[in-house]
Amino acid sequence: MRELTQIRQEIDEIDDKLVKLFSQRMKCSAEVAENKRGTGKAIYDPEREKQKIEVLTKGEENPFMKKATEEIFLQLMSISRRYQYSILSREDHYIQKNFVEVDHLDINEDTKVVYQGIPGAYQEEAMVKYFGEDVKNFSVPEFKDVVKTLDAGEADYGVLPIENTSAGTVSGIYDMILDYDICIVGEETVECHHVLAGLPDSSLDQIKKVYSHHQGLLQCKKFLDQWDWDQVKVANTAISAKKVADDKDPSKAAICSKRAAKLYGLKILQREVNYEGNNTTRFVIMSKKKQYRTDARKVSISFSAPHEVGSLYNILMHFMFNDVNMCNIESRPLPGRQWEYGFYIDVIGNLNDPAIRNALAGIREETKDFKILGNF
């Protein structure tokens, strides 16, 4: 048996050759990029990569080595592609064509904002926090109506809830944003301290039925589990407060904000019924104008990944390679494509940053249904 130092000496010599060969291969890759610039051919050529793997692994009998060779060459080709994106993305005008960079959002005395629900809704609170008390605004009954209103150009901005610290993603909002040509231009958070509110002459022991938005019921699950009340979902927490006030039935209560309880003349039967102390909802500010602020710090994208081993891993490598930090990932079932998923990802950065442009250029080419949802 050879001495360890002797074996390591051979490994060092092999690695030395590998590094030189790798560098030589990457120079070829850069030349391919120049060639593709001239011909307009896509950087990613999956057919060529498939053929290469077949040829390179054909003679290998050992299953471990066959898999290992495949893995190392897939990785090599992925690095080679990223190198080409870094060369060509400087000339990629996708972002300039689709988005306008602005110093600040256009918000003035004529700006009109739409939110879902009725006065007293948390959406209204988010709107006031973002745009100020005096902003012109109106509300619509359903989340979908916010998106439709923006699309029809009947409002400048719209407010939609996107996720909550205790109940997670607000289902369906991402899908709605995708269905329309609108983008996220801002975000706002509101601490949701829910109360249980009833008629002024009601008390906790009289309650039989409780109304709230689905999220409100979820966020107060631990409190509600202690009681044998019927739970009824309505479109909005403020609507639940209005319903209890309108029905004038002391056995009914609402889970809503303190603000909504006060607005509809209800008595607070119990405070802080949400189980997480700092229960917070994140809202997005939507606009039909495709714009991003120079100081925006979060980019949101969506895409669908091919149903193949390692496909999401390869896509996420674009972020790692460009030193881009990911802060959120969500997956949603793709309509009509059973067990296939679309992904929504938030990363830290601005669309004017070369690293972000590089990463997005690669992801755009290697995924389906790619969309930049916004930079905010």
Give the interface with ligand ISJ as residue ranges (CB under 6 A). 29, 32, 43-45, 48-49, 52, 77, 80-81
- Can you tell me the distance from the alpha carbon of 138 to that of 52, in angstroms, rounded to the nearest whole number? 59
* Residue 91 or 228 having the CB closest to ligand ISJ: 91
Which of these is catalytic: 149, 237, 281, 367? 281
281 is catalytic: yes
Which of these is catalytic: 99, 131, 283, 303? 283
* Residue 81 or 148 having the CB closest to ligand ISJ: 81
* Residue 49 or 330 having the CB closest to ligand ISJ: 49
* Residue 85 or 122 having the CB closest to ligand ISJ: 85
Residue 117 zone, left/alpha/beta (φ > 0; ψ -120 to 50; rest): left
What does residue 191 show for φ and ψ, rounded to 5 degrees?
-75, 120
Q: At what angle do helices 4-39 and 63-88 cross, to 10 degrees?
A: 40
370 is catalytic: no
Residue whose C-alpha is closest to residue 289's, from 150, 159, 192, 154: 150
Quote the least distance from Cβ 154 to ligand ISJ, whole Å: 45
Quote the least distance from Cβ 347 to ligand ISJ, whole Å: 24
- Can you tell me the distance from the alpha carbon of 327 to that of 187, in angstroms, rounded to the nearest whole number? 14
Taking 3-state DSSP, the helix, strand and coil percentages for the chain, each rounded to the nearest 5, stand at: 45, 25, 30
Q: HSE on the CB side for 290, CA within 13 Å? A: 14
- Can you tell me the distance from the alpha carbon of 12 to that of 8, in angstroms, rounded to the nearest whole number? 6
Amino acid at 265: G
Reported residue count of the chain is 376
* Residue 52 or 293 having the CB closest to ligand ISJ: 52
**Residue 154 token pair:** 């009947």
Enumerate long-range contacts of 26-29, CB under 8 Å, 24 or more apart.
26/79, 26/80, 26/83, 29/80, 29/83, 29/84
- How many helices (H) does the chain have, and how many strands (E)? 13, 17
Quote the least distance from Cβ 70 to ligand ISJ, whole Å: 13
Q: At what angle do helices 63-88 and 46-57 cross, to 10 degrees?
A: 150
Quote the least distance from Cβ 81 to ligand ISJ, whole Å: 5
Quote the least distance from Cβ 33 to ligand ISJ, whole Å: 8
* Cβ pair 342, 310 in contact under 8 A: no
* Residue 77 or 207 having the CB closest to ligand ISJ: 77
Q: What is the number of the residue whose Cβ is closest to ligand ISJ? A: 80
* Residue 285 or 361 having the CB closest to ligand ISJ: 361
Quote the least distance from Cβ 55 to ligand ISJ, whole Å: 11
* Residue 44 or 94 having the CB closest to ligand ISJ: 44
Q: Is 27 helix (H, G, I), strand (E, B) or coil?
A: helix
CB atoms closer than 10 angstroms to residue 101 = 15
Residue whose C-alpha is closest to residue 216's, from 121, 140, 285, 342: 121
Residue whose C-alpha is closest to residue 376's, from 92, 127, 190, 101: 101
Quote the least distance from Cβ 218 to ligand ISJ, whole Å: 45
Quote the least distance from Cβ 116 to ligand ISJ, whole Å: 45
> Catalytic amino acids?
281, 283
